[in-house]
Structure 1
Amino acid sequence: MTNALTGKVAAITGAASGIGLATTRAMIAEGARVVLIDRDKGALDAICKELGEAAIPLVIDLLDPKDCATLLAQVLEKAGQLDILHANAGSYIGGDLTDTDPDTIDRMLNLNVNVVMKNVLNVLPYMIERGTGDIMVTSSVAGHFPVSWEPVYASSKWAINNFVQTTRRQVNKHGIRMAAVSPGPVNSALLADWPEENLRKAKESGSIIEPTDVSDAIMFMLTRPRHVTIRDMVVLPSNFDM
């Protein structure tokens, strides 16, 4: 442990499982306090009990616009400051577009795109006033390659990659670093919606990485000197063909 994040406060959305939880553990190990944001109160309470005082639970339904808009205010109330936002919450739709219903499309696009934009907008004035901050966004390799079996999901990640790279250019003059991490298939709940045949083949071939592989990349990006920005990082299983 190098305590690289000692004195910093991070807020992580979708923190109760997967990449969000792995990143929470990694940040706490480096000395940060972490506000874990999720709608699953039971999971948050259990995790924070395990992780101790450095883990601070915050129940927010990000798909509720009024609740979503309270993110910064509640983080400041609970932790007193905010140095790092990891916009990680997201959902997945795979398969043919013709098998997808409009309500599911709306929900996924709202969570994967609109909520990320709202979360970033919510914290930016605070970070600009302080003259420093880090914003990390969990994207996907599907945002760099037109994956034919997940057109809705891939489109959401193409949109968010563009958002990260355009907004990054607006905020870097304020001392704020903004970046995206783009994993390939990760062993998490999102894969439950993968086409069964694709998931079977990926598991058999070792073409899936663990959430800790992604959190390692995030920690590398966050712990560079302030004059260095790793603007995006694609993290793939070595056997993943893309």
Structure 2
Amino acid sequence: MTKPLEGKIAAVTGAASGIGLATTRALIDAGAKVVMVDYNRQALETYAAEFGDAVVMQVTDLLDAASCAAMVPEILAKVDHVDILHCNAGSYIGGDLIDTDTAAIDRMLNLNVNAVMKNVRDIAPHMIERGTGDILVTCSVAGHAPIQWEPVYSSSKWAITSFVQIMRRQLKNHGIRVSQVSPGPVVSALLADWPAENLEKAKANGSLIEPSEVSDAIIFMLTRPRNVTIRDMIVLPTNFDV
């Protein structure tokens, strides 16, 4: 039986861990070839050995301006087209703003916001020329609610929510769907920066979800008929109290 994404080529940033890795696995299971984008060459090599011909490695440091700018051209030199771009790479800062290092603020905004905008800007002409494509961004429930213990992170995700809404309108007449997935707390390395008391509380009451539960939502979004766009899907642990 034909798989729903058979023949599609996807590029996933932050693909070597967390939601990006889960999405890579889910895309492969759905029949797609995946360009795994990450700064961690060693991790990419490990997964390339595991996944074989189903993946293509792309080493990119999204926080390096030259590396970020080269990402799309380098991908298109390795594959003949890109059907799906999943802008997933991101970082997290929690805690009071006055306790946050300003360099860390720059890093977060560059990764969570600026790199996403640059990646979308760079892939859009390719998809416009082909008259089709899917751009999907990992956002967060923090992009829909003012989370008081994470002012920088939450603000970065609010910016992405706005960006996705605008780009959906700009690109929809070119056959390109633009959407985001907005998880609640996911078991991943990002939670290492959560306030300890919040993390322990979430673990105790079942307020966390697995990356695979987010990738399930992503596959659902990508496999809708082309006349349907799931602009945003909020995926929450049932016991998450926000």
CA shift at 1:66, angstroms? 1.0
1:55 Cα deviation (Å)?
1.1
CA distance in 1, matches of 2:47, 2:216: 20
C-alpha distance in 2 between matches for 1:160 and 1:232:
11
CA deviation map 1:44-98 (0-9, x unaligned)? 0001110111111110011111111112111111122100000000000001111
Which letter does structure 1 place at the counterpart of 2:142? A
The gaps in structure 1 that reach 5 residues or longer are: none
Q: How far apart are 1:173 and its partner, in Å? A: 0.4
8 Å CA contact retained: 1:131, 1:176: yes
Taking the aligned partners of 2:144 and 2:219, their CA distance within structure 1 comes to 22
Q: Look up the match of 2:88.
A: 88
Deviations 1:188-218 (A, max 9, x none): 0000000000000000001000000000000
Tell me whether 1:10 sits opposite 2:10 in the alignment.
Answer: yes
Contact 1:2 1:30 in 2 (8 A): no
Note if contact 1:182-1:232 (Cα within 8 Å) is conserved in structure 2: yes
Which runs of 5 or more structure 2 residues have no equivalent in the other structure? Answer: none
1:2 Cα offset (Å): 5.1
> How far, CA to CA, are the matches of 2:178 and 2:103 in structure 1?
31
**Which residue matches 2:240?**
240
SS in 2 for 1:69: helix
Matched, 1:193 2:193: yes
| Aligned-partner SS, 1:53 | helix
- Partner residue of 1:98? 98
Contact 1:33 1:54 in 2 (8 A): yes
Distance in 2 (alpha carbons) for counterparts of 1:44 and 1:203: 29
Measured on the aligned residues, the alpha-carbon RMSD in Å equals 0.8
Aligned-partner Cα distance in 1 for 2:25–2:124: 25
* 2:138 alignment partner in structure 1: 138
Q: Percent identity?
A: 67
Counterpart amino acid of residue 52 in structure 1: G
1:152-167 alignment to 2 at 5 Å? 152-167=152-167
Q: What SS class does the counterpart of residue 61 from structure 2 fall into? A: coil
Residues 76-85 or 219-228, more deviating: 76-85
Determine if contact 1:221/1:229 at 8 Å carries over to the other structure: yes
- 2-side partners of 1:79 and 1:3: how far apart? 20
Q: TM-score, normalised by structure 2?
A: 0.99
**Paired residue for 1:113?**
113
The residue matched to 2:11 in structure 1 has which SS?
strand
Counterpart Cα distance in 2 of 1:170 and 1:73: 22
The match for 1:208 is: 208
Aligned to 1:20: 20
Tell me the secondary structure at the aligned position of residue 134 of structure 2: strand
CA distance in 2, matches of 1:51, 1:207: 31
Q: TM-score, normalised by structure 1?
A: 0.99
- The aligned residue for residue 60 of structure 2 is 60
> What is the rounded CA distance, in whole Å, between the counterparts of 1:2 and 1:208 in structure 2?
33
Greater displacement, 216-225 / 51-60: 51-60
User: In 2, are the aligned partners of 1:44 and 1:57 still within 8 Å (CA)?
Assistant: yes
Q: CA separation of 1:193/1:111 partners in 2, compared to 1, >3 Å: closer, same or farther?
A: same
**AA of the residue aligned to 2:32:** A
Which amino acid in 1 is paired with 2:194? Answer: W
Q: Distance in 2 between matches of 1:175 and 1:75?
A: 21
